[in-house]
Structure 1
Amino acid sequence: MTMYNKYGDQELWVRIKLGDEKAFIALYERYWAILYAHALKMLKDKDEAMDVVQDVFTHFLTKVEEIELSTSLKSYLYAAVRNRILNQINKNRLKDSYVNSLVDFVNQGYDIDDQMTYRDLLEKIEEEVNNLPPKMKKIFEMSRTTGLSHKTIAKELNITDHTVKKTINRVLKALKAKITVLFFPFI
């Protein structure tokens, strides 16, 4: 691998375009830590930063034949990480808005005499939670019922914070979808 470490970015780029896996590995080793530090600085979450950088390299490798560089390889990678981070931030804002609207809906306790009472709504939510796969249900209940933090749940179940966060978001999204179908005229 030392031979590849001597190559400049442009030469690595040419070799990667020709399908040289070792050139890609050299590029990965050259920029992964730097891009990770950059992503971590912006996202303040180790798992999300790692995911962003991995996604950039995965996309880069799978789309290498389609990529036309108009800047340096380093600039391209930094821009790709920045764009993924901005997308992640926007996705998180949208997700937070989505979850907050469900919470607001439930907390407002709309008078739903025509279809279901507020109590029926809570029972439906509880029923949907009970229908979740066991691990998802446990994570969700640890978060929502007992109020444990993602880190505490992760440590207790020996999984990553990121897994806890993704699981809770999937459950909330599924609940929102089920509730929206039942109460569409009121949301």
Structure 2
Amino acid sequence: MTNQANSNDNDDEDGDNSAPPIPAGSKNYMTPQGHLRMKTELLKLIDVERPEVVQIVSWAASNGDRSENGDYIYGKRRLRQIDGRIRFLTKRLDLAEVVDPSIHHGSDQIFFGATVRYETQAGDEHTVTILGIDELDPLNGKISWISPVARALTKAREGDTVILKTPGGLEELLILEVSYPAPQ
């Protein structure tokens, strides 16, 4: 299978870009902090890491036989990884729609950037923060705005019960608390 037939924003030949694709026709929503983090990573790759690897590859290439030159082979592979990540970050930042969740500070309605505490039918409490696709960290309660849980919660208010469609059937979630970061 060719790379063209299988290409999307996440593909690079060494596979180090693991964020899910942005749904067709959707914007790449992200918080100001998420945008800054991605931009900082991009600039570090361009200004620091890539020039260092290029210097190593140039030095290794000047040593002669490249077929068994570990520094050269590893350096070229690392350069491909860096270039792939630069392309990925550039595309994602170009599509970014930065949304400051603090504009909803004090609201009890759920929108992008909300931190929501909810209870399942089984009585389990969960706290999630609804963020951009590139900011998700499910193990730490940071979920994407396109996730099923986020979609079920969005636009509901504290005290509401929403229905979440799961593989095991429908589940009711009771919204206990909604909060947003304070404006800075």
Give TM-score, length-normalised by structure 2. Answer: 0.26
Work out which structure has the larger RCO, using CA pairs closer than 8 Å and 6 or more positions apart in sequence: 2
Give TM-score, length-normalised by structure 1. Answer: 0.26
The structure with the greater share of residues assigned to strand is: 2
The structure with the greater share of residues assigned to helix is: 1
